[in-house]
């Protein structure tokens, strides 16, 4: 009998010592409508870790001095629906009230279940469309560059042909018959006529009709070289 009394006294003494060096942290867990949330899992990262299931939304932990994070979360069918975290620092013994408000957790898995959306396929489809659009833009740029290159090449070719014509006219004192000009160029008669017509339209040369032929005169008042 004396042994039992001694053991009870020892346990009481130890519990009092623990309580002197520890604090009681308690509170209520609410949803977004500020109603107590039932069946919430609450845990604190003490040593050892303490975990409890709050049936009525209330919780209570005994913690020694230190820094802790209280984590409350609610699950349905194994899926995380809402959670709340609060960090506290205990510097002395006593009672502390820490209430928590659960915030909804919306992730791809939740939206997939609620709306039937497969986000992995959605992302893949979006990436494929982006790649397709980028491919179209690249092709269009290549085609545009090719067209511009051909136009520029043609302009350079026309400029070179005109320079050849003007150089021959200049070597002949600024005056030459179209027939003689044709002999000094590796072009067809039609092409020579087109070059002369273009130069004449810009006032670079002047064409004078003489008999069955034409005389091409360089307009010396302008500088072309």
SS3 letters for the chain? CHHHHHHHHHHHHHHHHHHHCEEEEEEEEECCCCCECCCEEEEECCCCCEEEEECCCEEEEEEECEEEEEEEEEEECCEEEEEEEEEEEECCCEEEECCEECEECCCHHHHHHHHCCCHHHHHHHHHHHHHHHHHHHHHHHHHHHHHHHHHHHHHHHHHHHHHHHHHHHHHCCCEEEHHHHHHCCCCCHHHHHHHHHHHHHCCCEEEEEECCEEEEEECCCCCCC
Q: What is the pLDDT of residue 142?
A: 92
Phi, psi angle pair for 187, to nearest 5°:
-115, 160
Model confidence at 60: pLDDT above 90:
yes
pTM of the model: 0.42
Encode pLDDT of 141-153 as tens digits: 999 888 887 776 6
Structural domains counted in the chain: 2
From 56, 89, 117, the end of a domain falls on: 117
pLDDT confidence band for 41 (50 / 70 / 90): very high
Model confidence at 86: pLDDT above 90:
yes
Q: What is the pLDDT of residue 36?
A: 95
Model confidence at 4: pLDDT above 60:
no
Q: Do both 91 and 159 map to the same domain?
A: no
Encode pLDDT of 161-202 as tens digits: 888 889 999 989 889 999 899 889 888 888 888 998 988 888
Model confidence at 20: pLDDT above 60:
no
225 lies in a domain?
no
Q: Do both 110 and 198 map to the same domain?
A: no
Q: Which domain holds residue 163?
A: 121-218
Q: Do both 106 and 133 map to the same domain?
A: no
Q: Do both 76 and 135 map to the same domain?
A: no
From 117, 150, 165, the end of a domain falls on: 117
Model confidence at 159: pLDDT above 70:
yes
From 67, 84, 117, the end of a domain falls on: 117
Model confidence at 12: pLDDT above 50:
no
Q: Do both 20 and 103 map to the same domain?
A: yes
Mean pLDDT of 126-137: 86
Measured distance CA(42)–CA(25) in Å, rounded: 12
Q: Do both 24 and 104 map to the same domain?
A: yes
Q: Do both 18 and 111 map to the same domain?
A: yes
Look over the chain and give the mean of its residue pLDDT values, rounded to a whole number. 82
Q: What is the pLDDT of residue 126?
A: 76
Model confidence at 224: pLDDT above 50:
no
């Amino acid at each position: 009998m004396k042994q039992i009394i001694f053991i009870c006294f020892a346990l009481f003494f130890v519990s009092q010592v623990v309580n002197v060096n520890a604090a009681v942290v308690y509170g209520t867990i609410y949803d977004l409508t500020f109603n107590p949330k039932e069946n919430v899992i609450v845990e604190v990262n003490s040593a050892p870790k303490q975990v409890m299931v709050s049936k009525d939304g209330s919780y209570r932990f005994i913690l020694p001095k230190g820094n802790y994070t209280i984590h409350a979360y609610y699950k349905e069918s194994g899926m995380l629906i809402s959670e709340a975290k609060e960090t506290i620092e205990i510097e002395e013994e006593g009672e502390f009230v820490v209430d928590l408000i659960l915030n909804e957790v919306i992730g791809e898995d939740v939206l997939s279940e609620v709306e039937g959306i497969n986000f992995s396929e959605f992302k893949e489809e979006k990436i494929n469309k982006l790649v397709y659009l980028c491919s179209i833009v690249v092709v269009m740029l290549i085609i545009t560059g090719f067209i511009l290159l051909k136009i520029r090449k043609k302009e350079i070719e026309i400029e070179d042909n005109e320079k050849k014509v003007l150089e021959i006219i200049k070597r002949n004192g600024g005056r030459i018959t179209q027939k003689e000009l044709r002999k000094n160029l590796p072009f067809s008669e039609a092409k020579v006529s087109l070059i002369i017509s273009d130069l004449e339209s810009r006032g670079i040369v002047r064409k004078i009709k003489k008999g069955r032929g034409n005389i091409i005169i360089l307009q010396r008042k302008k500088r072309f070289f």
